[in-house]
């Protein structure tokens, strides 16, 4: 599959298919969006918000949540704020999220089935990685958005002035975006 994508890419570049997507590294709308990596959102989220390439900084991960105050998603937001001029942050969860209800025990079993040894799992725990937390999902999408908004809004490295942080849920079928209330 990857080779097919690369074949397409060679043709794309030769035919200058990139030209409609030319933009700068700075988001035109000064917005960063943290959202889920769900395949249904790849085009739907942009279309539902009327966005085009270059409008926003998009940070995607499983569940669209900020799980650690000093993890890669938060680091990306720091770069967006301090280096790329972002002034507003949208945390956007979605309906029917695959990360919701993720089960730690099931994940470990899938890992073992794919050849990950108990020694490796023990080593990770020994290194103070709490696999139970790291591999678990969330029960309620709105609550997960609230927690992420709170973590970003009150992060010690996020300026308290000039940065707006709000939370939303997008319907993964219709694209309707609803604001999550009580995110403070």
**Which residues are part of a known binding site for Zn(2+)?**
36, 38, 94, 97
Task: Give just the sign of the alpha carbon dihedral 48, 143, 157, 78.
Answer: negative
**Number of neighbours of residue 121 by Cβ within 10 angstroms:** 15
Backbone angles phi, psi at 108, to 5 degrees: -60, -40
Q: What are 58's two structure tokens? A: 């998009």
| Residue 180: DSSP 8-state | P
Specify the 3-state DSSP secondary structure of 7: helix
Q: Using CA atoms, how far apart are residues 89 and 91, in angstroms rounded to an integer?
A: 7
DSSP-assigned beta bridge partners for residue 92: 35, 168
Query: Residues annotated in the binding site, as ranges?
Result: 36, 38, 94, 97
Backbone angles phi, psi at 24, to 5 degrees: -105, 180
Dihedral in degrees, nearest 10, Cα atoms 95, 61, 29, 159? 110
Beta carbons within 8 Å of 182's beta carbon, 6+ residues apart: 146
């Amino acid at each position: 599959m990857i080779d097919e994508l690369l074949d397409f890419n060679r043709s794309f570049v030769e035919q200058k298919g990139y030209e409609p997507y030319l933009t700068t590294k700075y988001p035109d709308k000064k917005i960063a969006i943290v959202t889920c990596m769900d395949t249904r959102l790849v085009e739907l989220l942009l279309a539902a918000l009327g966005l085009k390439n270059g409008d926003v900084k998009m940070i995607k991960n499983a569940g669209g949540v900020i799980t650690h105050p000093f993890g890669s998603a938060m680091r990306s937001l720091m770069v967006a704020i301090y280096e790329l001029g972002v002034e507003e942050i949208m945390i956007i969860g979605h309906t029917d999220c695959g990360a919701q209800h993720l089960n730690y025990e099931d994940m470990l079993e899938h890992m073992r089935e794919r050849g990950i040894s108990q020694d490796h799992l023990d080593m990770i725990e020994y290194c103070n990685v709490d696999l139970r937390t790291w591999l678990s999902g969330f029960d309620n999408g709105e609550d997960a958005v609230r927690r992420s908004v709170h973590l970003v809004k009150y992060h010690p490295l996020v300026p308290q002035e000039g940065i707006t942080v709000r939370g939303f849920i997008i319907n993964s079928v219709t694209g309707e975006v609803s604001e999550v209330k009580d995110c403070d």
